[in-house]
Amino acid sequence: MPPSNQTRVLLLNAMEKREKTLFRLEQGFELQFRLGPTLQGKHVTVYTNYPASGELFYRRKFRALSWHNPTGREDDSDKYCKLDLQISGSYQYYFSHENEKSGGGYIVVDPILRVGADNQVLHLDCVTLQTFLAKCLGPFEEWEDRLKVAKESGYNMIHFTPLQKLGLSRSCYSLADQLEVNPDFSSPNKKCTWSNIGNLVEKMKNEWNMLCITDVVYNHTAANSEWIRVHPECGYNLVNSPHLKPAWILDRALWHLSCSVAEGKYRDKGLPPSIENDHHLNCIRKIIWEDIYPKIKLWEFFQVDVNKAVQQFKTLLSQGNRKTKSDPNKHLQIIQDPEYKRLGCTVDMNVALATFIPHSNGPAAIEECCNWFQKKIEELNAEQFQQTAYHQEQAVTCLLETVVYERLADHGPKQGSVSRKYPLVTRYFTYPFKEMTLEEEELLMHQPDKACHFLAHNGWVMGDDPLRNFAEPGSNVYLRRELICWGDSAKLRYGNKPEDCPYLWAHMKKYTEITAKYFHGVRLDNCHSTPLHVAEEMLAAARSVRPNLYVIAELFTGSEHIDNVFVNRLGITSLIRVLCVCCWQ
């Protein structure tokens, strides 16, 4: 039976922000908003996006609630506005005083799960779930017998890892096509379809008293996905994300180094293909610092062309463009070139003209002024050189830690000798073209029709802020090699709204709606790295198809308050806290 009608009270106090406080309720409850001590006697309006009667769930908008005063008292002690909670999901509320927003938070309404032909309630604290690796289930006609083991063992819910077509790596979570059923489930005599799977799921619900959920993977797609080859704007590439160019150059340089090591070309420098001890690690560090970094000159992506800048400054002075008054709050600094061309950065010439002022109009005075300007530019470039060296040191450290884990550690995979199949380190970017020299490959970086296909891979960053997108400008994760990279998957780039990448949003919304149509719940894979606004939009689409959607999430944030941000905004029902990654491959 659904829960009996009960009332819960939420006190509102001025400037009380509860975005990180979990307030979970059951369907059938009445939620009353009442004024706390700090708002008594004040005119307060409460707004919520909980759907009004007859309103579509997916199109919810904020609306003001009406106040009730059942006793008619002049004070506010009995005054309240209310919501009758009949729809599960995540809902936001806020309240204003004198037209100023004064506070707010979220409410999470639990779904009601039902099983059996008579739709009996399966209480959330009674869920017992078993995971099946879908790729191991074999042809679809054999599923029923294999799944029945879970039923006879007392489970009432089954979690299928993704049922979609897999990428080249065959990893359960590297999907080649989010809309297509894995062809491995088909037999020569019968093709497996979503309808087939949906019918089995309904049979299990009605006859076995079991519900079924599956994953939604929003953060990445298989690097060999055909649709992302046609729509490379859906990933982070060197055209839409030029800040990744230095990291791409480093990645290619490391790939070429890896190939040379595999071919034994660094034996004379103490580095054989088989890396076995600390001496070999020290040789890697030495080679990168002495051979690789001086060759690729990463610092140039962050520096100014001194000669070009001085000539421009001299021309302006000679033409009489001078500032007699400087703004004390403005100092000469490097302006990053948005296209990240080598030596493409600039400085604000207006600030320069106001900072370096010749004492006369003569050529000698102008020359002296230009010399001071040049010295300042060289100092700024030197700072960028040091900053780049700092990133490079971290990159070497991370690279060596990866080598230690993959090749030396007792608990690691022991990959053996360096080869093209098992390179020195996993590549951070796709490279779908014929290999060339590093110098020739860099030329491709400036050709948009080629550069758009160099897609950044996804992965995990230890200790990173889960609310930050590590692939966006301002992050140096790829340059510093801090990503534990999944070389089989490209990270997806949604932007801030559907208009920023229409194909991707439409593709993933359709994927979500298919999943919600045939399954009773979803598991949010890699939830901690999925942009919150993307997951919000997709779950809203899912709940428009299946209002009582059961949502569990793989969420590792390291903070209960940050956990609550995800739970509140997404309406998560249950969390996964411990995961052995190797078990899911």
Closest CA to 296 of 284, 288, 308, 286: 288
Element (H, E) at 165: strand 164-166
pLDDT tens sequence across 3-47: 557 999 999 999 898 999 999 999 999 999 999 999 988 899 999
Give 360's DSSP letter. S
- For the record, the structure tokens of 118 come out as 């008579």
Phi, psi of 517 (to 5 degrees): -70, -40
pLDDT tens readout for residues 528-537? 889 999 999 9
pLDDT in the model for residue 53 = 80
pLDDT at site 60: 73
Burial level of 34, CB count in 10 A (0-12/13-18/19+)?
A: middle
Tokens of 386: 């040091």
CA distance 523 to 552: 5
- Report the mean per-residue pLDDT for the chain: 93
Q: Is the pLDDT of residue 145 over 80?
A: yes
Determine the Cα angle at 194 with ends 190 and 195, to 5°: 80
Which residues are registered as beta bridge partners of 400?
none
Please, which pLDDT band fits residue 584 given cuts at 50, 70 and 90? very low
What's the confidence (pLDDT) of residue 463?
84
For residue range 346-395, list pLDDT tens digits in order.
Answer: 999 999 998 888 888 888 989 999 999 999 999 999 999 999 999 999 99
- The residue-averaged pLDDT of 154-181 equals 96
β pairing state of 44-48 and 89-97: antiparallel
* Rounded CA separation 111/115 (Å): 13
* Burial call 501-513: b when 16+ CB within 10 Å, e when fewer: beebbebbbebbb
Question: Is the CB of residue 274 less than 8 Å from the CB of residue 262?
Answer: no
User: Is 45 in a helix, a strand, or coil?
Assistant: strand
Rounded to whole angstroms, how far apart are CA atoms 214 and 207?
A: 20
Q: What 3-state class would DSSP assign to 445? A: coil
Distance CA 152, CA 14 (A): 54
Query: According to the model, what pLDDT value does residue 115 have?
Result: 96
Q: Where are the alpha helices (DSSP H) in 239-298?
A: 245-262, 278-287, 293-296
Q: Domains for the chain: give ranges and CATH numbers.
A: 7-109 (2.60.40), 118-226+495-584 (3.20.20.80), 238-454+469-477 (no CATH)
pLDDT band at 1 (very low <50, low <70, confident <90, very high): very low
Q: What percent of the chain has pLDDT over 70?
A: 96
Look up residue 468 and give its DSSP letter: S
